[in-house]
Chain A
Amino acid sequence: MTMSGIPQPARRGGIWQVAKPQVRNVVRSRWLLCYVGFFMLATEGLLRFSGGDARTLLSLANVVLFVVPLMTVVYGTVYLYNSREFIELLLAQPLKRRTVFAGLYMGLAIPLTAALVAGVSVPFIVRGMDAASRLPLLTMLVGSAALTLIFTGIAFCVALRFEDRLTGLGAGMGIWLLFALVYDGVLLFVVSVLADHTIEKSLLVASLANPIDLVRIALLLQFDVSALMGYTGAVFSRFFSGALGLMVIAAALVTWISAPLAAGFVSFSRKDF
């Protein structure tokens, strides 16, 4: 290949070179525009009609905690299935699978996170907000960004594990349903059945095992309204409060981001394309 006979190690593009064109691709999609628009409208509407900033934030948090995981897991799954041929093209380049995987993940997670943060924060910035609401707003933005990263990872996992896209989409939505709706109900049921036993420690673990609950708890800890926390939140706030609680939640969220990502990468590196 080279005249000297000793091939020089070639410089290779990295993760960002893979991610950049995809960020551009996602940003241009009509779907992302709708996603930003939805958060802007929801935030603006709540700011306009529900009075004070703290109440707005609580209502908004309920919307965000419901919508972000669902939309992320659905869009992420469909996106990966649609990228199948593009992934093959990338893997035929002199790139490591690790690089391609990280590039794909960032190519989707970056625009989704940016859309969410922009959609929610722009109405607040335009209208101005009182100082007391800044920290809860920041918590909500960081928390929902973490949910975007987590559910993008879950979407990748599912789309790589199932060849059939309908099965994959169904599995993704099933996981969302479990964390968003079923989980707290099942816990309440378990608690009512085992009312005589001391199971608070297990409940504490259970509260760490649901990423959506974790973000909700982080928010409610700041508002100090444990009545709205649901069962896991109430237990959690008895054990952890203040900075310690936030740190435990942050650590659990980081684990929640890494675990699907690691599982997805294992599938990706073994997969036959």
Chain B
Amino acid sequence: MISVRGLHKRFGELDILQGVDAEIPTGRITGVVGPNAAGKTTLIKSILGLTRPDSGVIEVAGTRVNGDESYRSRIGYMPQIARFPSNMTGAELITMLRELRPDATDVDETLLSSFELASEMNKKLNTLSGGTKQKINAVAAFLFKPELLILDEPTAGLDPRSSSVLKDKILADRARGRTFVITSHVMSELEELADEVIFISDGRIRFNGSLSQIMHLTRQANLERAIVELMERGAAA
């Protein structure tokens, strides 16, 4: 679904991405992990075209990301921070997104009911809790039944019930053949969801393969320990 080759990005003095190559397979859930400031969000934002890489090639479903906007109609994005214009309501936000894509008549609002958001949608967004805003964020990402969903820390701020609702939705949509890219700091969560793992550290990909491969490679009991093992090996090398 996504192919990244030789991606470089500098922000001033900081080399955020230093030649990233990655393959994200169709119909699977790829977890992107790595320490803080490793370049996870920059990688995601480059795929979305929010950040322009200095060099390198990104292809989404065979289309090269080069400034043309139409490929983004295939992507649902759930950003890490849910902040919206303060006097807008959730319903107005959804209406706006739908008006921006007048052709997309077939929408998926199942999360609205499974999150029990109906009574919250007509309140101003700045009066809602962070978790509720994050739920609306999730509704927006799944709205147009995109082939590819990019979720940046999707369960951060969600209570356990909402978090499981979202995970169930992710797994159900993978079963429909959708592709997911998920970043998370919660390794147990990625262990539950991910088929593939991309481990990124200091702007380079340290591992890109299946979850079972990384567990086999490191001989550790869980993903968290496996990642720590990889980091230690990297430091030793």
Contact = CB atoms under 8 A, between A and B. Distances in A.
Given A94-B72, A272-B11, A272-B52, A25 B101 contact: no
Interface in A71-114: 82-86, 88-89, 91-96
Interface string A18-52: 10111011101100000000000000000000000
A173 B170 CA distance: 47
Contacts, number: 94
A93 B72 contact: yes
B49 interface: yes
B45 A272 contact: yes
Interface residues of A, number: 33
Given A88-B79, A94-B70, A94-B73, A21 B101 contact: no
A197 interface: no
Interface in B10-56: 11, 45, 48-52
Given A24-B88, A94-B73, A273 B45 contact: yes
A93 B100 contact: yes
Contacts of A9: 70
B67 to A, nearest CB: 8
A22 B99 CA distance: 14
A127 interface: no
A85 B79 contact: yes
A26 B87 CA distance: 7
Given A24-B92, A89-B140, A96-B69, A13 B99 contact: yes
Contacts of A270: 52
Contact of B50 (A17, A22, A92): A92
B49 A91 contact: yes
A82 B84 CA distance: 9
Nearest to B68: A96
Interface in B51-107: 51-52, 69-75, 77, 79, 81-88, 92-93, 95-97, 99-104
A10 B100 contact: no
A21 B11 contact: no
Contact of B48 (A26, A83, A92): A92
A10 B103 contact: yes
Contacts of B173: none
A194 interface: no
B74 A25 contact: no
A268 B15 CA distance: 22
B147 interface: yes
Interface string B132-151: 00000000100000010000
Interface residues of B, number: 37
A11 to B, nearest CB: 5
B100 A88 contact: no
A157 B2 CA distance: 34
A25 B88 contact: yes
Contacts of A94: 69-73, 100-101
B70 A86 contact: no
A26 B88 CA distance: 9
A17 B87 CA distance: 17
Nearest to B85: A25
Contacts of B103: 8, 10-11
Interface in A40-66: none
Contact of A20 (B73, B77, B96): B96
B72 A85 contact: no
Residue among B49, B69, B77 with the highest chain A CB neighbour number at 10 A: B69
Contacts of A1: 74, 147
26 contacts: A10-B73, A11-B102, A12-B101, A13-B99, A13-B102, A17-B100, A18-B100, A21-B85, A21-B88, A21-B96, A25-B87, A25-B88, A29-B86, A85-B81, A85-B82, A85-B83, A86-B83, A88-B79, A89-B84, A91-B48, A91-B49, A92-B48, A92-B79, A93-B100, A94-B69, A94-B72
Closest 3 CB pairs of A and B: A13-B100, A28-B87, A85-B83
Given A17-B96, A85-B81, 12 more contacts: A9-B70, A18-B100, A22-B85, A82-B86, A83-B85, A89-B77, A89-B79, A92-B48, A93-B72, A96-B69, A272-B51, A272-B52
